[in-house]
Chain A
Amino acid sequence: NAGVTQTPKFQVLKTGQSMTLQCAQDMNHEYMSWYRQDPGMGLRLIHYSVGAGITDQGEVPNGYNVSRSTTEDFPLRLLSAAPSQTSVYFCASSADGHNSPLHFGNGTRLTVT
């Protein structure tokens, strides 16, 4: 099993550009989520999904969109990048999001200039 796979590993965007961070898992997990990690702020939940077709907002959802058309994939979209979105983004999954361990991908380091 590859686990949770995130692409790309690094990305540089200009302000106003759009992009999609990809996340895929091969563990047949129902729950998937996106976090951002900033110095001094720890990890903060952006969006999460408890199954295909179901998404909900976390602590810091503004500026980000998600969808969950399949169990395996949970892409994160930045429609108009801002410098405040410079961060390291982590995707994670667990069997049910509640009674099982959370497994993280290796992260995407995004810089918005």
Chain B
Amino acid sequence: GIQVEQSPPDLILQEGANSTLRCNFSDSVNNLQWFHQNPWGQLINLFYIPSGTKQNGRLSATTVATERYSLLYISSSQTTDSGVYFCAVERGDSWGKLQFGAGTQVVVTP
């Protein structure tokens, strides 16, 4: 199957700091999504972004499909940004099979 690697595995931020999370994948994909799992375990879809750049408030994401990576930017972090951020990808010949990376654990301290 496709390999999905997220970095860094852990990140500690002070409130107000900016950060970049990275997702590398080993094959061409036609579906890439970012999710946030909050400390209560809820999984929230942040972006559907197979290519290009999108922004939603303090979060933005960029996917460079030809170079097989995606970046998630968190600006002016808040304590509510704490949790685990997952990248998930789907290969072109694996329709319906979204495969998740191991996640980046983010802790934002006041």
Residues of A within 8 A of B (CB): 31, 33, 35, 40, 42-45, 48, 50, 56, 58-59, 88, 90, 92, 97-104, 106-107
The answer to the question of B30 belonging to the interface, with a C-beta cut-off of 8 Å to chain A, is: yes
Distance, CA A40 to CA B101, complexed state (A): 11
Q: Which 4 A-B pairs have the closest CB atoms?
A: A104-B43, A43-B100, A101-B48, A101-B45
B41, B43, B44, B99 interface centre (most CB from chain A within 10 Å): B43
A77 CB to closest chain B CB (Å) equals 20
Closest partner residue, chain B, to A103 (CB atom)? B45
Closest partner residue, chain A, to B41 (CB atom)? A107
A88 touches B41 (CB 8 A): yes
Distance, CA A8 to CA B65, complexed state (A): 39
Distance, CA A99 to CA B31, complexed state (A): 7
Closest partner residue, chain A, to B98 (CB atom)? A102
Which residues from A are CB-within-8-Å of B81?
none
Distance, CA A31 to CA B95, complexed state (A): 11
Known: A42-B101, A98-B90, A102-B33. A48 touches B96 (CB 8 A): yes
Distance, CA A104 to CA B37, complexed state (A): 10
